[in-house]
Structure 1
Amino acid sequence: LSEDAIYRSFDFGDLASLLMVETRLTARNEQLSYGADMPMTAAGPDVAAFEAKRNDPGRDLLGDRQRGWIRDTLAASKAAGRPWQVLGNQVVMGRVQGPDISKLASRIEIMALMAGLKPEVRAQVQQAQQLFSLGVPFNLDSWDGYPAGRERLYAAFADAGVEPIVLAGDSHAFWVNDLKDAAGRRAAVEFGTSSISSPSPGDHVPGVPLGAALTATNAEVVLCDQSAKGYVLLTLTPDQARAELRTVSTIMAKPYRAGVLKTFTVAKTATGLGSLVES
């Protein structure tokens, strides 16, 4: 590998392989933004033109060389008889559409929520709502900003014959996602960790149930929690993966209580991964 190719892998006996990928420096196209990249017409936002730009086949986070390395390393891990392949990845991989709150709450409930926000935050939420009502992604700096590149990665998983566990961060929120390719085929499962102390988008809109709205809106999202702070503890045995979403009761004072928000398990099967089960 060259000096700038910092992706690498670690094998844990006959149990698992961990692939640490690089998505920020060597092959990443600059993220899109709604302000700069959503064309405006007299009739309003030109979503079709924006989606054409977002779905540009050239948009990528990994590059061909790293993607080939991922495919080959996953295949070698499977051939070695390791039951688990884990992808350490920087940003959320699941498909996450921004929630249209008008479909999830009554007008009176929405007015009450808006009334509780600071004026500058209320304006940002209203602007986001106008966009999300058009069915666009929640976060363009995640894999949703690079859908063609994500499909190429899912094809690499399939070529290697594995359904990996994907780990994610960066979003400052907890996620449990059941990942599917564009044809609806199971590609992987994803566990995304919250931050230790940094605020999530949900923290900026107190009183708005953003995590619940994201979960209700998106078929791939099994759980999203925008409030809790902590980390994910992933435990692997030959037959099962267990993800504990570990939290603290407060980050605002030294006294705190440690707890577990949710625990999910997934079994290893002869053909890949079983269903995500809350336990």
Structure 2
Amino acid sequence: MSYSRRKFIQQSSRGVAGIGLLGTSALGVSLGAGSGHTEIEPGAFNFGVASGDPRQDRVIIWSHFQPAGQHSTPVQWQVALDEGMMDVVAEGIFVTTEARGNTIKVDVSGLLPGTTYFYQFRVEQAFSEVGRTRTAPEGDIDLARFAVISCSSYAHGYFNVYRILSERDDLDGVLHLGDYIYEYGQDEYDERSLRNERTLTPTHELISLTDYRRRYALYRLDADLQAVHRQHPFITVWDDHEFANDAFQDGAENHNEGEGEWRDRKAAARQAYFEWMPIRENRAGGISRTLRYGDLLELIMLDTRIEGRVAQPGGVDRQSEAQDFNRTLMGFEQEAWLQQQLSGTTARWKVIGQQVMMAQRYYIKLPDLFGGGASLWLDSWDGYAATRDRLLGHIRDHGIDNVVVLTGDVHSSFAADLSDNPYDANNYDRNSGIGSLAVEFVTPSITSPGFPPVLAETGAATIMAASPHIKYAELRQHGFILLTLNRDEARADWFYVADVLKRSTQYRLACSFLTRDKENRLVSV
């Protein structure tokens, strides 16, 4: 199909930085009531644009249109090779309705690999901003670069990380590893550290579909968040707070009596996520998927949070329970799928994007006869040691090189070698890294609180002293990882922002680690 070189969009809808929410039937009533927000504009694209899940020939483009009434809305969309939207290569109409919260999501196909595109939406005389995106490359490529981020609590500060990343033009994409929103009500989450109180909408804990939609809408009004989505395609997974704290397949730590059935809350949270995030939906309703960047890397995105995860160990026998062979972090079906992806790919680097920390953090390592490793972190892979053992055993037994694990969740920074038994000097050497099977990079939070300063310094030192495989630990700074891969190495650079309590684009490089081709262990740069 050919398209004429024409420009149907001649203006953008007005900027929405700092505005608030008007009650609508799709988003719920009085979204911004009492919060000091002004009203959003009906008949407009108030929440910006976004793109995601780039493949060689396609990419998701997203927006939201607020109709003046309760009716379905045909939305025109265009994709072009230029920011002026003159060289149009694809166009169509997407009909959005209240049933999907008036969100717009198009999987645009027929595109060229490794190409920058621009896109825009229109309803009659209302126009969205122009977004920028990029498809994944194919064939022989020498370089790929991503920002790796997670954990953005709106109430705990400004999204300076998003603004900084929006000003870069050297990224293939942004990997968001979960906790894109938080479900807590106002002042319910770590109130002691809440020095910069941005008002939440709704002010109560999220339970219903309307609640989750309203919270996503609040986030999407943030000017810094809009800017980074406008500039880069996102590749995302959810974590617990898109649902509820410490969630698992059948419940969550803060899903309590009187809050309805967990399955209903989980379904509402899942629906809102797929409505508001630029992620490709599948019929099973899951998020596990792969994305290929030429022959250089395979991105393997996991769900270690909701699908298949059994409850975290609890009670007096929780340390022994954590070692139970029959427990699974992601479900046995997803475990088998992950192993197949690692064995089957021909990409040089196998990059796993997932939620919770894989490296062991045992405060005491006992012989297996007495329960093995004792950990304080049983919401992570430490609470599901058999899942980790099966994965690392598969990597070892099949001689799989160049596995890089990316992690969010813990509001901290870590760099670690991954060994099936790093506490045994005969199995892993802390000085040379021999015995490591893969590496892990853990990204800090965007705004979510870490440890208090004194505890952070002491805690990091204690973890590193007790854990020979953990090469770097920092427990309080906010920032991001810049992940750069070439044919010889995969490198992670940790950058920390100067502040989150006021708007700032100052940031600094804190440290760097890399792993070289086929060495499977970390080197400090």
Q: Same fold (TM over 0.5)?
A: yes
**CA 190–208 in structure 1, closer or farther in 2 if over 3 Å, else same:** closer
Residues 1:56 and 2:337 aligned together: no
Runs of at least 5 residues in structure 1 that lack an aligned partner in the other structure: 39-48, 100-133
Q: How far 1:256 moved relative to its partner? A: 5.2
Q: Scaled by the length of structure 1, what TM-score is found?
A: 0.74
Aligned residue pair count: 225
CA apart distance, 1:254: 2.2
What pairs with 1:1-279 in structure 2 (closer than 5 Å)? 3-33=284-314, 37-38=315-316, 49-77=317-345, 80=346, 82-98=347-363, 136-163=374-401, 164-182=403-421, 184=428, 185-200=435-450, 202-203=451-452, 206=455, 209-255=458-504, 257-268=506-517, 272-279=518-525
For the 8 Å contact 1:75–1:161, the answer to whether it is kept is no
Cα offset, 1:205, TM superposition: 5.5
Q: Would you say the 8 A contact 2:411–2:445 is kept in 1?
A: yes
Q: TM-score, normalised by structure 2?
A: 0.41
Q: Measure how far apart 1:57 and its partner are.
A: 1.1
CA distance in 1, matches of 2:523, 2:352: 20
Secondary structure at 1:146 match in 2: helix
**Is 1:247–1:258's contact at 8 Å kept on the other side of the alignment?**
yes
Identity %: 32
Equivalent position SS for 1:147:
helix
Secondary structure at 2:351 match in 1: strand
Cα offset, 1:140, TM superposition: 0.9
The alpha carbon displacement at 1:230 in A equals: 0.5
The 3-state SS of whatever aligns with 1:32 is: coil
Whether contact under 8 Å (1:232, 1:244) holds in the other structure is: yes
Tell me, in whole angstroms, the C-alpha distance in 2 between the residues paired with 1:63 and 1:135.
22
Rounded Cα–Cα distance in structure 2 between residues aligned with 1:274 and 1:54:
26
CA drift at 1:50: 3.9
SS of 2:337's partner is helix
C-alpha offsets along residues 197-238 of structure 1, whole Å, 9 cap, x if unaligned? 1112x2375575211221111112111101211011110001
* Structure 1 pair 172–24 and aligned structure 2 pair: CA distance change class (3 A): same
Pick 1 or 2: higher relative contact order, CA cutoff 8 A, min separation 6: 1
Q: Residues 135 and 58 (structure 1 numbering): CA distance in 2 closer, same or farther, change over 3 Å?
A: closer
Question: Following TM superposition, by how much is the alpha carbon of 1:138 offset from its aligned partner in structure 2, in angstroms?
Answer: 2.8
Deviation at 1:145, TM superposition (A): 0.5
Q: Which runs of 5+ in 2 are unaligned?
A: 1-281, 365-371, 422-426, 429-434
CA-to-partner distance for each residue in 1:244-274, whole Å, 9 max, x for gaps? 0011122222245211110111110xxx325
SS at match of 2:378: coil
* Whole-Å separation in 2 of the counterparts to 1:74 and 1:207: 35
Q: Contact conserved, 2:350 with 2:404, CA < 8 A, in 1?
A: yes
C-alpha contact (below 8 Å) 2:481/2:492 kept by paired residues: yes
Counterpart residue identity of residue 341, structure 2: T
Report SS of the residue matched to 1:262: strand
User: Which amino acid counterpart does residue 238 of structure 1 have in structure 2?
Assistant: R
Amino acid at match of 1:179: L
Query: What is the letter of the counterpart of residue 56 of structure 1?
Result: D
- How many angstroms apart in 2 are the aligned matches of 1:16 and 1:157? 17
Partners of 1:3 and 1:233 in 2: CA distance: 32
Alpha-carbon distance, 1:31 to partner: 1.0
Larger Rg computed on CA atoms: 2
Spell out, residue by residue over 1:171-201, the C-alpha distance to the aligned partner (whole angstroms, 9 max, x if none).
000010101013654221000001011112x
Looking at secondary structure, tell me which structure has more helix per residue. 1
Hey, what does 2:187 align to over in structure 1?
none
Distance of 2:420 and 2:375 partners within structure 1: 16
Q: Name the CA distance, whole Å, in 2 between partners of 1:248 and 1:207.
A: 17
How many angstroms apart in 1 are the aligned matches of 2:405 and 2:318?
28
Deviation (angstroms), 1:98: 3.6
Which sits farther off after the overlay, 87-96 or 179-188?
179-188
SS at match of 1:196: coil
Q: Using the alignment, how far apart are the partners of 1:187 and 1:4 within structure 2? A: 32
1:160 Cα deviation after fit = 4.5
Q: State how far apart, in whole Å, the 1-side matches of 2:306 and 2:458 are.
A: 34
Distance 1:255 1:21, change over 3 A: closer
The DSSP-based 3-state class of the residue aligned with 2:452 is helix
Check conservation: 2:319, 2:375, Cα contact below 8 A. no
CA distance in 2, matches of 1:30, 1:135: 19
